[in-house]
Every structure is written in structure tokens, then in C-alpha cells.
Amino acid sequence: MSKPKVLVTRMIQQENIDRLREHFDVEINPDDRAYTKDELKQKIRGRDGVLSMLTDTIDGEVLDAAGPQCRIVANFAVGYNNFDVAAATKRGVILTNTPGVLDDATATHTITLLLSVARRIVEADKFVRAGKWGSWAPLFFMGLDVDGRTLGLAGAGRIGKNVARKAAAFGMKILYTDVKPDPDFEKSLGARFVDKATLLAESDYVTLHVPLIPATKHYIGEAELKAMKPTAVLINAARGPVVDEKALARALKDKVIWGAGLDVFENEPAVEPELLGLDNVIVVPHIASATPETRMNMGRIAVDNLLKVLTGGAPDTCVNPEVLEA
């Protein structure tokens, strides 16, 4: 009896590949780049399951190319804005993600960006490497204080709350906005639930933790940036399109806000060119979850989901559970 066929669209850690190969006929993208859509449509044909990346658009066209035998697409990510959930559900394809295991790494990365922007770490590093450092001076590379300042969380899910717990070590005051208040969160960290306008007006640092859905595209745009303090810092390690990059570049250039730290971008891997010429923004290539343990655990969840579905079971982390009920 032939093994189910699984496509892995980018190489992941070998231990998880080995687990897949114990049970399935596995093909892995040999190149260190994402498939084009045409390549994906070709490679996915006849596959029973797919281990996809956030860079793979999984829509009706791609699923039709796979064929009716395709039962699961397991995303190597907690986000799944690359999925056309309705199209997959219509075709009876199970979609899964990797929640929970990214929380610590992403929250730590968010705080890293916050501190690095506030204290001008990247700018100062470049200065020293360029041989420009002459001597110490009392007004040299003045940054911003973090201790005791106000942190505004746009979204207080698992990652947002994790950021708040880490920020508490700096004595930061916590504001948050979400779809509804969380009394337990407020009690544990003294957080205060506010509307978006209050969050922007009162926060010294704003960190974004909203999912990418139609309602959150350009959640931060020109009007929101103007509503922030001129000494404020914006951090985005959520999804790129929740920030209008052109508006952000203008705001940073015109000193509407003090600085920004970006892990994600509207049109990855492209970055708004205006941002690249500014010293008051740190840009890094979508690495919030890039630790060995985190990426191993992401792979483990994706592989577990593939194993369970392709052996007749239910996945652990299904994003379209109505398929399981059909």
C-alpha cells in the first residue's frame, strides 16, 4: 500500500522531516525560497497533505490544482492570512496553524525591538562600526526612558499579555484595547482597558498584536500616527499590512512620532523604500519566532496535525472546525 503524499514547501528542522518520512512520501522544496504560485500549483498536484509557510497563498485555485484527495494544509505559522478559509472549507480541506508555541519568542522579540529603538542601539552600533566615535559626550546618542513609561497594547491575546508581563519588569503602566475587557488580566498586571483613541494618545510605546483581517488592514495609518505622542514609539511584530508603511515613513521623517521597530511588512520581502533611509526605524526580516526551540515546536505541531488527519484522526489546531463536523 502506497504512503500518503505530503509536500513541504520550505525546509524545516530535520527532526520533523524525519518524523514525516516515517509515515509519508515526502517532497521538500529544495530551494531556499518560496514557490511561485505556478510552481506551487504544479508541486501540490496529487498531494494528500501540505506543510505550508505563511508565504504560500492557499486559495481555491491552488486547492483545485491539488485535487480532491487533498485533506489538510498545515501552516508553519500561528497566523493564517495566507489561507482562503472559505475556499478550503467549501472543498472539505482541513486547515491548521501552530498557536501557543510562538508566544514567548514573539513577545521577547517585541520587547527587544522596543528597547533597541528607545536606546538607539542599531544606530549607535552603525556609528561605531563606521569609525565615527571620537569620545564620550554627555549628550551623545540620547534615547528614551522605558522604566515607568506607558505601554499600549493593541490586542491583548496570548502574545499581547506575554509582552505585558515582560514589560511589568520595567515598571511599565499597561493600557490595552481589544474586543472586550479582560478582568483577570487587569487584576494580575494592573492593566487598564481603553479605546483605541485613548491608547494612542496616552501611550509612550504602542505594540501591535491584532490579527490581519479586513478590519485591521492599516489599523495604524496617518490619522493614528498623528494621534500619538511626538515621543512615542510604534512596534509591529504582528502582520505587516496592519500598518500603512507609506504613512509611517512620512511620520518618522517628519518627526510625528519618535521611532518604530518593524519585524513585518506590507509586501514582504519588499520594504517601503522611504523607511530604509531613516535612522529612527529598525527593520528586521520577520524573525520574531526565529529560535531553535520555537521553530522546532512549530514544526512538531504541523507534523502532528498532518499525522492525525492523514491517519483518520482530527487535528489539534484546526482553524476551520466546521470541516470536521461535515
248-267: average pLDDT:
98
Active site residue ranges: 239, 268, 286
If you average pLDDT over residues 221-240, what whole number do you get?
98
Residues 179 and 296 in one domain: no
For residues 107 and 59, state if they share a domain: no
Quick: pLDDT tens for 157-209: 999 999 999 999 999 999 999 999 999 999 999 999 999 999 999 999 999 99
Do residues 50 and 85 share a domain? yes
Q: Answer yes or no: are the C-beta atoms of 148 and 167 closer than 8 Å.
A: no
pTM (predicted TM-score): 0.94
The answer on 114 and 186 residing in a single domain is: yes
Encode pLDDT of 23-72 as tens digits.
999 999 999 999 999 999 999 999 999 999 999 999 999 999 999 999 99
Q: Are residues 252 and 123 in the same domain?
A: yes
Do residues 47 and 97 both lie within one domain?
yes
Residues 90 and 142 occupy one common structural domain: no
Residue 217 has pLDDT above 90, yes or no: yes
The owner of cell 519566532 is: 289
- Based on the fold, state whether residues 224 and 129 are members of the same structural domain: yes
Q: For residue 193, what is the domain's CATH number?
A: 3.40.50.720
* Cell numbers describing residue 293: 526551540
Average of pLDDT values for 225-251?
A: 98
Range of the domain at 192: 103-283
Bridge partners, residue 173, by sequence:
150
**What's the structural domain count of the chain?**
2
DSSP state of 154: E
- If asked whether residues 131 and 230 sit together in one domain, one would say yes
Q: Which residues lie below 8 Å from residue 129, measured CB to CB, with a gap of 6+?
A: none
Distance CA 210, CA 317 (A): 19
On whether both 84 and 213 belong to a single domain, the answer is: no
Please check whether residues 277 and 213 belong to one and the same domain.
yes
pLDDT at 326: 72
Residue 249 shares a structural domain with residue 161: yes
